[in-house]
Amino acid sequence: MTRTLQEGIRLFQLKRWDMALQEFLQMDNTVNRVETTERAYYLGLCYTKLGHFEDALLYLEQVVNAAQNPLQIYQCRMALAYIYAFTSRGNMAEFELGRLVENGFESVQLYLILAYSAHSQRQYEKAVHLYEKALNLDKNNVTAINGLGYILVDTDLDVERGLRFCKIAADRKPQNAAYLDSLGWAYFKHGDTLEAKTWLRRALNLAPQQQEIQKHLKIVAKDA
């Protein structure tokens, strides 16, 4: 393994994405096939961590098509699915995750990304089902608990049940603005404006720039 590749991996493990990226970009193009794939793997992950999604896609696809390491393929498909879901390309996200399921990979994170993708496409009942599958694997996963609760209340599918989930998420992570926002919105949907304001204000204090929280608080204040 070349010294540049080793240094890049060291920096990546330290979560110094920018510096790791520069190391990998400086690698000689004449390295062997194995190191070329290794370089593409880390470049794809660095670009994903830095939010440079289109650059990440180029390298992640290379790894999926060339790598021999099942773990690398799994991680790259997960990263591809995350990027596609985040950039509103739900069908492509589902394709990547579907390939993982076909190959026997099943994880909470997989179902969370699928649920997020379904939610972004307004496939709410499907999203609920996927969050429930995530919770079947890990009943204590707070992201799944909050996601399920929020969809149930926001879409009026089951406000009572959704409120219970939102309470659990906020109780377990009381400094998470997103979870407090979900709980405030759940109380509003449940008809309790006073509680809704209390939780939404706490959420806004933690994340004053979050537009979704601002939007919810304006709706609640207007309804009061």
Q: Which of 57-66, 181-190, 215-224 has the highest mean pLDDT?
A: 181-190
The predicted-structure confidence for 189-202, as pLDDT tens digits, reads as follows 999 999 999 999 99
Confidence band, pLDDT 50/70/90 cuts, at residue 222: confident
The Cα-based distances of 74 to 36, 90, 120, 205 in angstroms read 18, 18, 23, 38
Confidence of residue 151 (pLDDT cuts 50, 70, 90): very high
The model's confidence at residue 121, banded by pLDDT at 50, 70 and 90, is confident
Closest CA to 44 of 24, 70, 26, 29: 24
CATH architecture observed for domain 1-90: Alpha Horseshoe (1.25)
